[in-house]
Structure 1
Amino acid sequence: MIQRLVLFCSFIFSTLVFAQASAVAGEAEGAVNPWPEIRKERINTLLPRALEAADVDAWVILCRENNNDPLADHVGCENAGAPAAYVFYRLSDEKDGGEFHSLVFSPSSEATALAELEIHDKVVSVPRGESALKQATDFIREHDFQRIAVNSSINNVQADGLSYTQRLALEDALGDKFAQRLVSSEELVYEWLAIKLPQEVDIMREAARLTAEWQIEAYKQVVPGKTTDADVARFFKAKMAEHGVTDAWAPDQNPNVNSGPDRGHSHATNKVIMPGDVIQTDFGIKVHGRWVSDIQRFAYVLKPGETEPPEDIQHYWESARAGGRAAFDAMKPGVRGIDVDAAQSVLMKQNGSEHVMWSTGHPVGYVAHDTGPNLGGSRGATVRPAAKKKLKAGMVFAFDGFHAWKRDDGTTKTISVEEMVVITEEGAEYLIPPQEELILIPSE
């Protein structure tokens, strides 16, 4: 069964993906970071569509040193010193043809280097002592933009980078008439960040492959009665250091290795792994300092004399696997996130699962819980706004197949085997082959 799980290690990637895989092996390889070119393509191809989908005429991002906007390095202002203003806009007059433009009002101290990156249509060098904000707001008033997006959002922290004082300064510079035209960039940022370019998907595919491969390697190191959950976690940390990658989420909780009852999002403990345990490993890596993976693999520790899991454990596994497949089959363009969750919930109830609080899945990309539709809401008391959003081609998700049960001591254990998929025009496509069977760990 283990051999069946690791067949994906023989997958042959294209020359581009292989080069990206080499970069995952560490910056010492000297591979070029693909982000600058990908960033440029995202701005030029995906951002215009996002402005149109959000019905926004202009998007203003204010950048500054030390406490910068969360999207600074997505638009090229990660090196801001003195305050700068970035304006992305559409013009609908006949002369311009409704084309998309990007314009930066940058302090002269940063303008030269920024222009050399060739990310934006135009970089205006603002002399020392003059205000980039004033020049940007003069430009906005001159073009009489009607809907002006700014990074203020209650629901999405990635679209909430404008500080209170920056907002006041912006409104004051715009004047009352134009300040009343400010709208949240939440929908724009949602439309932009949720879609990944094919080359980004290829990078995450390789990250997912390594993540799952190391999990299988880690389970081979387990000696029942001796190895602790924390020992397994240290194996992953060593692998990450060896390959020059970093954590996909909080380092203290990555990986979460748990051979006991449910602990939710947590750190690995010194619990000793014993025969009869079901082991969960929730693990993700960040490659190129940008893209992340999120994969869970499950193992069962055979008791002396066992050659396969007992009937109840096998049922739990098959139930979780079936729930995950139901969610996979439901993931198509135009389907709401809550409906994907509901497709699994029906099977969970039929198969006798205990209640599971977690959503079936979430977007994954630049962070583990990225911007995009939430695959949840059908089992909870409240429904997140993102759960009512529809899936689109180019979105990437991590999603779980669930089954929870009561252990003999009254605690709960949940199988939540987690896979990664990209949405295509036809439906969902696994980034790597899914786990088909429990990994079996023999007892001496």
Structure 2
Amino acid sequence: MLKPVMLMSLAVICGGYQCSLSAAPYDFKAPSPWPEIRKQRIADLLPNAMQRADIDAWLIVCRENNNDPLADHVGCENAGQTAVFMFYFAQEQFRSIAFSPSGESTALAELGLLDNVESIPRAGSAIQSAAAFIAKHDFKAIAINISDSNAQADGLSFSQYRQLIAAVGPKYAPRLISSDTLVYEWLSIKLPQEVDIMRYAAKLTAAWQIEAYQQVVPGETTDADVAAFLKQKMQQAGVTDAWAPDQNPNVNSGTDRGHSHATNRIITAGDVIQTDFGIRLWDRWVTDIQRFAYVLPANETKVPEDILYYWNSAKQGREAAYQAMQPGVKGVDVDAAQRTVMEATGSLPVMWSTGHPVGYEAHDTGPNLGGSKAVSVRPASQKTLAEGMTFAFDGFYSWFLPDGSPKTISVEEMVVITAEGAEYLIPPQQDLILIPTQRN
């Protein structure tokens, strides 16, 4: 059950940040800005990414239904029959070409996304045509979407791979390499206009969580009620889930449950409530932000000393990670900075990384902010931060509840990396949101 309960102004809860959404700069029910942004990403970011990955060409095979995860990043989201998109360097010039089935090639050419669209007769083969193109240019390093570590760079199916190997033949098959590094270099960087969209989305995400907490009636409201309120806000605004809908938002007033769904647990006095919530705009850009509240027992007006210590310790860890996020710093070192604070403040260990890239997915491509204490050791934790990368990251403090089960505060915020270091997309939560217990 939810009932309106005014706690304080949104401006106060937002740490001075104006949460009013009356002058929204974006209409998420309007056409997406993605087509134009995609053109700019291909023109401005992809050539540099290919050079950093030291490849001559990138080949993407697209098809109907079970398409490559990056299909709509390169323009082949509408493929019916098999199509091949290639981005390459010729005479030191960055170029692009699509080998597209004739039934789709006209519309594709009209988009003006690629330099050239070669129409393939229905009886022909886009893969064979691409293989002939490879031989003509004698590319030395050709990236294809196969990866052991990044699902976004692993879109080539086994049957497509067999067809491609057969088409290019023994001379060029050894030159086919994983696109993992290229995809990493390209997807991890966001354009300024993308960051602006994510900034406003973060503002929405946090403001809605605060509004949801304002509806809580201790002893009546359940975690699932809070989640349902946020789902309603998403539907009204025309945005969707940043991750699995059944687990977004994850509202948890009890012991740690990890990535999970909100339950029918009734929120009561003394609870620390965690809401982990993300929205997806135009089916493209996502957020991942947590907000925490504390339910004051009757006749109490402030947070008890132990809970306040846990909260401030988590913020201290967040600040250490924030200060460590500089261009050129490895993700593992950001994690180490945060875990040093955890150890100093007496936190229990936690299983989760300090942070992760966020943008096109909640757990996007880029450096992983983990691995310093053998917690989720991933190759990406050895990657370095760079300008234009966007992250969600936490400051942790974990302790045992009276029943012996663990409880973790994980103050999660979003940042963009600039030349000077990390920059919050919105001001971080500084104080626990206080929910009074109703008196009889």
Instruction: Compute the TM-score of the two structures, normalised by the length of structure 2.
Output: 0.95
Which residue of 1 is the match for residue 13 of structure 2?
A: 5
1:381, distance to aligned residue in structure 2 (A): 5.3
Tell me if 1:128 matches 2:128: no
Which residue of 2 is the match for residue 140 of structure 1?
A: 134
Q: Which of 281, 285, 289 pairs up with 1:287?
A: 281
Check conservation: 2:355, 2:393, Cα contact below 8 A.
Answer: yes
Which residue of 1 is the match for residue 228 of structure 2?
A: 234
Secondary structure of residue in 2 paired with 1:274 = coil
Tell me if 1:45 matches 2:53: no
1:356-402: CA deviations, max 9, x gaps? Answer: 11000000011100000000011225621000000000000000110
Q: Which of 105, 115, 124 pairs up with 2:99?
A: 105
5 Å-filtered alignment, 1:377-416, equals: 377-380=371-374, 383-416=377-410
**Code of the aligned partner of 1:86:** F
1:106-153: CA deviations, max 9, x gaps? Answer: 111000100111100111111221111111110101111001110000
Q: Which of 189, 198, 202 pairs up with 2:192?
A: 198
Q: Which of 313, 327, 347 pairs up with 1:319?
A: 313
Check conservation: 1:357, 1:380, Cα contact below 8 A.
Answer: no
1:8, distance to aligned residue in structure 2 (A): 1.9
1:172-224: CA deviations, max 9, x gaps? Answer: 00001100111000000000000000000011111110000000000110001
After the TM superposition, which parts of structure 1 deviate over 6 Å for at least 4 consecutive aligned residues?
Answer: none
CA 1:381–1:258 in 2, change beyond 3 Å: closer, same or farther?
A: closer
Secondary structure of residue in 2 paired with 1:350 = helix
Tell me if 1:180 matches 2:174: yes
Q: Which of 330, 337, 343 pairs up with 2:337?
A: 343
1:295, distance to aligned residue in structure 2 (A): 0.4
How far apart, CA to CA, are the structure 1 residues paired with 2:20 and 2:133?
A: 52
Secondary structure of residue in 2 paired with 1:9 = coil
5 Å-filtered alignment, 1:11-90, equals: 18-19=24-25, 21=26, 23-24=27-28, 27=29, 31-90=30-89
1:10, distance to aligned residue in structure 2 (A): 5.1
Same amino acid, percent of matched pairs: 65
How far apart, CA to CA, are the structure 1 residues paired with 2:70 and 2:44?
A: 17
Q: Which of 367, 371, 374 pairs up with 2:365?
A: 371
Check conservation: 1:331, 1:427, Cα contact below 8 A.
Answer: yes
1:320-368: CA deviations, max 9, x gaps? Answer: 0010011000001000000000001111101000011100000001110
How far apart, CA to CA, are the structure 2 residues paired with 1:253 and 1:381?
A: 23
1:262-321: CA deviations, max 9, x gaps? Answer: 000000011000000000000000011100000000000001121111000000000000
Instruction: Compute the TM-score of the two structures, normalised by the length of structure 1.
Output: 0.95
Q: Which of 241, 251, 257 pairs up with 1:247?
A: 241
**Code of the aligned partner of 2:416:** V
Secondary structure of residue in 2 paired with 1:36 = helix
1:12, distance to aligned residue in structure 2 (A): 9.9
1:417, distance to aligned residue in structure 2 (A): 1.1
**Code of the aligned partner of 1:272:** I
**Code of the aligned partner of 1:5:** I
How far apart, CA to CA, are the structure 2 residues paired with 1:378 and 1:221?
A: 40
1:33, distance to aligned residue in structure 2 (A): 1.1
How far apart, CA to CA, are the structure 1 residues paired with 2:66 and 2:257?
A: 34
How far apart, CA to CA, are the structure 2 residues paired with 1:339 and 1:374?
A: 10
**Code of the aligned partner of 1:419:** E
1:32, distance to aligned residue in structure 2 (A): 2.9
How far apart, CA to CA, are the structure 2 residues paired with 1:266 and 1:413?
A: 15
1:9, distance to aligned residue in structure 2 (A): 2.6
Q: Which of 200, 207, 212 pairs up with 1:218?
A: 212
Out of 339-348 and 372-381, give the one that drifted further. Answer: 372-381
Check conservation: 2:19, 2:207, Cα contact below 8 A.
Answer: no
Secondary structure of residue in 2 paired with 1:175 = helix
Check conservation: 1:357, 1:379, Cα contact below 8 A.
Answer: no
Check conservation: 2:353, 2:376, Cα contact below 8 A.
Answer: no
How far apart, CA to CA, are the structure 2 residues paired with 1:262 and 1:130?
A: 56
How far apart, CA to CA, are the structure 2 residues paired with 1:382 and 1:178?
A: 36
Check conservation: 1:326, 1:344, Cα contact below 8 A.
Answer: yes
How far apart, CA to CA, are the structure 1 residues paired with 2:21 and 2:176?
A: 49
**Code of the aligned partner of 2:391:** F
Q: CA RMSD in A?
A: 1.4
Check conservation: 1:88, 1:103, Cα contact below 8 A.
Answer: yes
Check conservation: 1:9, 1:213, Cα contact below 8 A.
Answer: no
